[in-house]
Amino acid sequence: MGAMVLECTGFQPFARAIQRRIDIPIFSWGALLDYAYSVVVHRDYYGHV
């Protein structure tokens, strides 16, 4: 297993502790939705390249 998704919102406060214990990335359904949204809707970039 390369990553874990916590689909129950009750576990979110423990995500960091779980990630440290099992040493794999932990995602929530909200984080995955944010990622999918950022793939589709790009924001303007202001800064140095």
Confidence at 7, pLDDT banded by 50, 70, 90? confident
Cα–Cα dist 24/27, whole Å: 10
CA distances from 30 to 16, 23, 35 (A): 15, 21, 9
Confidence at 20, pLDDT banded by 50, 70, 90? very high
**DSSP E strands: which ranges in the chain?**
4-6, 26-28
Confidence at 21, pLDDT banded by 50, 70, 90? very high
pTM over 0.75: no
Helices then strands, counting H and E runs in the chain, come out as 2, 2
Top-confidence residue, 30 or 36: 36
Q: Mean pLDDT, to the nearest integer, of 6-35?
A: 86
